[in-house]
Amino acid sequence: MLWETISVVRDLPRLHEIASVMIRYGWGDLVRVLGISGALERAGRVLHWQNTSEMSQLEAPVRIRRALEELGPTFVKLGQVLATRVDMFPPHWIAEFEKLHSQVPAVPYDILHPYLVDALKGEPSEIFGEFDAVPLAAASIAQVHRATLKDGTPVVVKIRRPGIEAVIRSDLRIMEHAARLLESEMPDSRRYDPVHIVSQFRRSLSRELDLAKEARNIDQFARHFADDPLVKIPRVYWEFTNDRVNVQEQMIGMVGVVPDKLRERGLDPKLLATRGADTVLRMVLEHGYFHADPHPGNVLFLPGNRIGLIDFGMVGMLTHARRNQIVDLLHALSYKDEQALLQVLLDWSGESVGDEDRLAYDVTELLQSYDDLQLKDVKMGALLNDITALMRDNNLLLPADLILLFKTLISLEGLGQQLDPEFHMIDHVTPFVERVIHQRYTPQALLKRGRKSVREALEVVANLPRDLQHLLRDVRRGRVKIDLDLKRLDHFGHQLDRASNRLTMGLLTASLVVGSSIIMTVEGGPKLFGLPLFGLLGFLIAFINSLWIIFSIWRSGKH
């Protein structure tokens, strides 16, 4: 608590700035709910609740996007992360978040120079034959300059903006505090898990701040594609690279997806679309390590119809189990297999599915909407968007490692269609999926899985005495807890009560039949139609009881 108080005091100027921007863009109610206004007023910082009628005329997605832009790099990055959360926000919100960009005024070279000298441990002139003081590009985290090494090799030098770490750390502290308050004061927000989103954002931003991490990503991709002459990954010059500076080979190629200009350079747009799709699908389904931002600016078209990739700050990783789920999903989509698709969604959702029957119905309805389409006419991007909409409607969230994947596949299909209007992503997905599924059932793969299963089973047996010992120790110490799910206990009790009633009536009916049979053999007493009256009454009551039991069972649908 003391540390949080000190942090809040340290961040008061920034907190005041954030609150002022939010109020100006019509988010004053959120400022009040989070208690920001009270904290600032107690600190002697008065907020001006000026008229926001002009801003209130704008739609909510536009207002939040403009507020994020004004709040600077950290919040712009947050908006870009939210743009990937197609499982949380409807399309018009995503479209607005996607308008956020990181292009900001460059840091003048006279300010950047001492920072660069400290990062390089020497003057740039001692390392580079030439260094262009005018940046090639400037973003919120870093800016890029052209240079050449002493041997004349062209390189690009990516430099982290001076002082950006302190700004981001302050903003992250405020975001984390706000996320906790949001969950506490607005229970409806918990389904979006804002604390987890900020935590995920912190990790993402930390990776992006570390330029050496991007360099390691580049080396990883270079190893994966070392045997593929059609894919070019830049070389990293580690002797000049650290967390603040990244020096890598400059690749000369064509940027942009104008087919006519590509043809003028002797390139084949259709072939480039195919190779680009196959490259990313190989990353996803074979390596489990993929470039998560394949927009046109990060893809270069090189002579010989080769593909060059740059900017590896944002990458996605998939475990082997997750890759298998992706293959199952794509296979189910390709062949419109309802049960397989439902099973994958249930695996992703865990125990958070509120209404499994509704989810199953929505899956069936989704696939039926594609019944009249040929496989070649199915757009993978539209299909993935429909799946995320289905999950959003069922209050389900995509696992974090799949969010970037869906966004990547959608972006990749858009890029391919710009190169070739007849490009269909699903045509490229299907052969990869078939190949991976075939590899699952080769004798070698089956033997490997069999050995693994046997080894795991033996480990369970070997550990059983120890586990039982721990269980008995916990029982003696009173540490064992049993959680019962009693949601349907009332219904079960009702069913049990009805069953016991039927059983009782059945026993009574059987007793009446037996007793009436005995009475029918006894001489004397009142007669009806020449038969003992009480015996006939017993049979009649038993007959009525039997009809009641049969009708009760039929009405309950148990027949």
308 confidence band (pLDDT: 50, 70, 90): very high
pLDDT digits (tens, 9 = 90+) for 490-532: 555 666 666 676 677 777 777 777 777 777 666 666 777 667 7
User: 3-state SS of the chain: helix, strand, coil percent to 5?
Assistant: 65, 10, 30
Query: What is d(CA 65, CA 75) in angstroms, rounded to the nearest whole number?
Result: 9
Sorted by where each begins, the domain ranges of the chain are 2-101+170-191, 102-169+192-250, 316-443, 494-555
Can you give the pLDDT at residue 3? 39
Catalytic option among 171, 293, 311, 328: 293
Can you give the pLDDT at residue 373? 60
pLDDT digits (tens, 9 = 90+) for 104-158: 778 899 999 999 999 999 999 999 999 999 998 888 788 999 999 999 999 999 9
293 catalytic? Reply is yes
Can you give the pLDDT at residue 119? 92
The SS3 assignment for 159 reads strand
pLDDT at 43 over 70: no
357 confidence band (pLDDT: 50, 70, 90): confident
Lowest-confidence pick of 163-167, 169-173, 401-405, 550-554: 550-554
Query: What is d(CA 169, CA 167) in angstroms, rounded to the nearest whole number?
Result: 6
* End-to-end Cα spacing for the chain: 64
As given in the structure block, the two tokens for residue 57 are 């005329």
- H helices of 477-532, in order, are 489-519
pLDDT digits (tens, 9 = 90+) for 264-292: 989 999 999 999 889 988 898 888 888 88
- H helices of 394-488, in order, are 400-419, 425-440, 443-476
pLDDT at 338 over 90: no
Fold of 102-169+192-250: Phosphorylase Kinase; domain 1 (3.30.200)
Query: What is d(CA 104, CA 73) in angstroms, rounded to the nearest whole number?
Result: 9
Q: Residue 52 in contact with residue 30, Cβ under 8 Å?
A: no
What type of residue sits at position 381? G
Q: Check residues 550 and 217 and name the one with the higher pLDDT.
A: 217
Mean pLDDT across the stretch 320-338? 80
Query: What is d(CA 214, CA 203) in angstroms, rounded to the nearest whole number?
Result: 14
302 confidence band (pLDDT: 50, 70, 90): very high
pLDDT at 340 over 60: yes
pLDDT digits (tens, 9 = 90+) for 218-254: 999 999 999 999 999 999 999 999 999 999 999 988 8
Rama region for 321: left / alpha / beta (φ>0; ψ in -120 to 50; rest): alpha
Residue 47 half-sphere exposure toward CB, CA atoms < 13 A: 27
Can you give the pLDDT at residue 408? 83
| pTM to 2 decimal places | 0.68
